[in-house]
Structure 1
Amino acid sequence: MAVFGSWFGREVDQDHVDSINGFWTVLLLVVCSVGSFALRYITTPISCWCPAEFTSSMISYTQESCFLKDMYYNKSMSVNNDDETKPPSVPSFHLWIPLILFFQALAFKVPNIIWNSCKHLLTLNMEETVESLKSVQLTSPENRQASFSDAARVFGSLLRRNRFFLALLYLFVKLLSCINLIAQFMFLTTYFRQYLAIRVGSYADFDIDSIIKPLLVKDIYCHVQVQFLQNTQIFSVQCTLQITEIYEKMFIFLWYWVFLLAIITILNLVLWAGFLFLPFLRDGRIAAHVNASKGARPNEPAVTRFISSFLGIDGVFILSMICRNSSELVAADLTQHLYQVFQEKEREWQNQRNLYTGETEGGAVVTGATGTIAALPMRTLPHCAESPEKAPTM
């Protein structure tokens, strides 16, 4: 079940649009693929009008033989063994429909496979992190705060090495999903809603009818070769591929599904890119999490430094995923502890900077020739000592 969930389920580092693309659409196409394969055995896929002299066994053989062919003819005429008298052939891909649907499902799964294969190379294991943080909420307040503090310090050390690669990988995977949806929409429009493609092509002054042909045909003429003793006879029978009607309805449903999903996925990509790279969309949410426990207005300059110099784009992305897949409370607690780690780092950096520049708060500094710095606090001076007066400037 764990392997099944990792391959087909929605993980904690994906949003609902990723779940629709990588799980529900794949499941839908797999069901359609298996169903289209089973239709030929549970229904009558073809019906042929055979000559009166045909027996029932000959009719069954004719229908099965015609169904297994992928080349038909568009009119009935007398046929002999001379290939030059054969009418123009009409191809049909009804036998390949299960495989076509399978490759469509695989195309929807490829972006998710790329994401699951590459994300662990760039940052921490987000699945285990979110699950552990969710379970921490059920413990005592002391243990909860200690766990969030430890997680924040681990986050801080990892975010220093990864600033934006994980977020760019996620946006790239979403871009692949958009490209896949656009390509699948064009494929379905061209070959299964051909009249719509021809109409659009005529508006653009492009004769698409002379280039593409439908993948499925319905009314055809099939040539069957029958051997009686030493004589070989070829019969031309008129057939109707009844299974084509079911396939057409199925692909029309998939056309609307892919069309709506393409719009949703493109909008989702734009929103994610805006949230990650536009400060006025992301800073307010991070500031609200930082100051959730204080009930005060956020310190905007400090929050801006916190996001730009500490979190980075990857940190914003990870916190957003934790918020989407866990809760606002978990994201707020982790953000507050990350902000405390940031303040500690900032104070350490400021102390090192003051030591290097020779500036100490409330004290005098003496710099030697070797570059060493000695600070003499003011409180160590005798009370009777007088401050040296500054010489007047001319």
Structure 2
Amino acid sequence: MLRKQQGQLAFDEIDRLNAWFTPFVLVAMTLAISCKQYFGQPIKCWTPREFSGSWDGYVHDFCFIENTYFVPNGTEVTDEARGSRHINYYRWVPLVLLLQAAMFVVPYNIWNLFHKRTAINLKGSLRYFEGAIKKQTPPEACESFANEIWVKLLNMRNATERFSRCQATINFFLLKLGFIINCIIQMVLLKHFLDVDDYFWGFFHLWNVEFKGTAEQEDSVFPRVVLCDFKVRNLGQQHQHTVSCIMLLNMIIEKLYICFYFWLIFVFIVTTSGMLHFAFQILFRRHSLIPTNLNNKPHMNPTRSHRFIRNYLSFDGVLLLTFIDAQFGAFRTSQVIDGLLDRFVAEVGDDYCPTYTLLDNVEYEDATWKKQQQPDSSTVTSLHEDPPERYVAFNTDTIPMDRLKNKACRSLIEEVDGPSAPPVADEKKTL
């Protein structure tokens, strides 16, 4: 399962951290503990002198199978102490680790079931692009992929469903939310499995063990020295013995679970911050997710770029471009965007010219253009001279060619700047 997920295309770094790297580490931890538990010597007990070799083996196996208990050094072993702190989790550690590894994989598998029902189909689109690159030249592959995506974008734009253009994005955020909920459930599972008092046990235990060194004087989460009670029948009578055992396995479990505890906190912080950052960008700064400047493309300007991102790409189109950028690079993504822009310009047309209003300034839709030529101080020869007349003029070099060809734009320019100069032949004829 992990090997199959490693080659997934619809994977970002946070997904790989949650659904591949962490389960892989947990499986490795399970193998390490299982080898020590089932094929090594997980516990070693001190036995009375009269016990022979077979009795020693019996005590080791019995104390590992039955529950042991922890009594701090210097405390009297009483019946109340025997029943207060039983240690029985270590036998179930391998199975619980496998369960925790499976819980990290569950959110991605659930997302894998629902993403196929979306119109954009992230994994299907990325596989299509990967196959096109292998079978065709890169420009042809980008062109065919742009045509495929354009058809899907038009279908989503013409759909009557309310969330037709953001289904893949909603599923993407639900996947991140599933990873966050999984981290919280893992913390709750650790608390009850290890039988600790609060959710900050990792910090307190690390402080007591590594810095203060008082783990054996206090009630420890992972005791290294435990007690075990067993009875021996001798001549029809039962004699109870209490032996002290060293839990060699707990030394390994302690290090692994402390690392896993802080790793859970790290994964939770990274996943939450990544989801909030992407949500802010997709809602308020969608253009920043496009790996190229659309205003530098032919026949494009800020107004058309905004219209292309908002009305045509929408949420799912931008999300798909971010995955293409992450998997195939910015250059291939720019080629795909060029193919989409060609189809966008062909559908919108070049006759789109906004309405101008000439007052004290010239307004062009959302952008405001205001040009006033001030008198040059170098041309004023006297203080009594009147300054040149102030006027407003268009700079035709800054007007896009598609709007300059429009008759309404040319008439507006002639109205402000005056008619263009006559040709040279007409001027000679007049002379």
Q: TM-score, normalised by structure 2?
A: 0.66
Greater shift in the superposed pair: 170-179 or 21-30 = 170-179
Query: Secondary structure of 1:224's match?
Result: strand
1:103 is matched with 99
Distance 2:80 2:203 in 1: 35
Aligned to 1:283, which of 278, 282, 287? 287
- Counting only pairs closer than 5 Å after superposition, residues 137-152 of structure 1 correspond to structure 2 as 137=133, 139-140=136-137, 143-144=140-141, 146-152=143-149
Structure having greater relative contact order (Cα 8 Å, sep ≥ 6): 1
Q: CA deviation at 1:148?
A: 3.5
1:339 is matched with 341
Q: CA deviation at 1:230?
A: 2.6
Residues 1:30 and 1:345: Cα distance change in structure 2 (over 3 Å): same
Distance 1:168 1:125 in 2: 13
1:373 is matched with none
- Counting only pairs closer than 5 Å after superposition, residues 1-394 of structure 1 correspond to structure 2 as 5-6=3-4, 8-72=5-69, 74=71, 87-92=82-87, 93-134=89-130, 136-137=132-133, 139-140=136-137, 143-144=140-141, 146-160=143-157, 161=159, 162-185=164-187, 191=194, 194=201, 196=203, 216-278=222-284, 281-286=285-290, 288=292, 290=294, 294=298, 298-346=300-348
* Structure 1: segments with no counterpart, 5+ residues: 79-83, 201-212, 351-360, 363-394
AA in 2 matched with 1:150: N
Query: Secondary structure of 1:153's match?
Result: helix
AA in 2 matched with 1:325: Q
AA in 1 matched with 2:180: C
Distance 1:188 1:151 in 2: 47
Q: CA deviation at 1:243?
A: 1.0
Q: CA deviation at 1:320?
A: 0.9
* Native 8 Å contact 2:147 2:340 kept in 1: no
Greater shift in the superposed pair: 181-190 or 93-102 = 181-190
AA in 2 matched with 1:181: C
Residues 1:186 and 1:10: Cα distance change in structure 2 (over 3 Å): farther
* Native 8 Å contact 1:72 1:91 kept in 2: yes
Q: TM-score, normalised by structure 1?
A: 0.72
Query: Secondary structure of 1:88's match?
Result: helix
Distance 2:249 2:80 in 1: 30
AA in 2 matched with 1:270: L
The percentage of aligned residue pairs carrying the same residue is: 23
* Native 8 Å contact 2:2 2:20 kept in 1: no
Residues 1:10 and 1:291: Cα distance change in structure 2 (over 3 Å): farther
* Native 8 Å contact 2:2 2:24 kept in 1: no
AA in 2 matched with 1:319: L
Residues 1:156 and 1:194: Cα distance change in structure 2 (over 3 Å): closer
Distance 2:345 2:36 in 1: 65
The count of corresponding residues between Structure 1 and Structure 2 is 327
Q: CA deviation at 1:330?
A: 2.3
Q: CA deviation at 1:140?
A: 4.3
Residues 1:73 and 1:26: Cα distance change in structure 2 (over 3 Å): closer
AA in 2 matched with 1:60: G
Greater shift in the superposed pair: 142-151 or 216-225 = 142-151
1:389 is matched with none
